[in-house]
């Protein structure tokens, strides 16, 4: 567990993700979430609720990681846009624009462009 938490702190939110990788990652995580919801509808046993709750939290962390790395690909500071997301309608449109905007082709302060072709390595940033 300690190695997992150190990976989250050091690696999961570092680096960049281009548009194609970002949208494939979002689609994959959405698909996993839908399948988990179909397998385990609400109101099950306590242990399965806890298990699927932990899986749901891990999916949330991966979503957050993709969003942070996508904003870093554009070269923008992440905290400003996370705060902007709290403004109900305006934040949604700003983030939608950023998700569709082309990332910088050269290195920025968050690192070189991501050229990883293995989908799961990109998703987990390993």
Residue ranges per structural domain of the chain: 14-103
Bridge partners (DSSP) listed for residue 111: 108
The per-residue pLDDT string of the chain (126 residues; one tens digit each, 9 = 90 and over) reads 555 555 555 577 888 888 888 888 889 889 988 888 888 766 667 777 788 888 889 888 888 888 888 888 888 888 887 787 788 888 888 888 888 888 878 888 888 887 766 767 777 766
* pLDDT score at 17: 85
* pLDDT score at 10: 58
Closest by CA position to 109, among listed 84, 70, 74, 75: 75
* pLDDT score at 25: 87
* Residues 82/72, Cβ–Cβ less than 8 Å: no
Interatomic CA distance for residues 34 and 26, integer angstroms: 12
* pLDDT score at 33: 86
The H or E element containing residue 49 is helix 46-74
């Amino acid at each position: 567990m300690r190695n997992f938490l150190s990976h989250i702190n050091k690696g999961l939110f570092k680096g960049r993700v281009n548009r194609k990788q970002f949208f494939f990652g979002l689609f994959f995580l959405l698909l996993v979430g839908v399948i988990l919801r179909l397998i385990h509808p609400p109101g099950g046993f306590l242990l399965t609720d806890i298990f699927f709750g932990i899986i749901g939290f891990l999916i949330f962390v991966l979503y957050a990681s993709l969003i942070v790395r996508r904003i870093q690909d554009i070269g923008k500071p992440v905290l400003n846009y996370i705060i902007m997301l709290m403004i109900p309608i305006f934040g949604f449109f700003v983030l939608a624009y950023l998700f569709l905007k082309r990332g910088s082709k050269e290195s920025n302060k968050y690192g070189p462009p991501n050229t990883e072709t293995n989908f799961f390595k990109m998703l987990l940033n390993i």
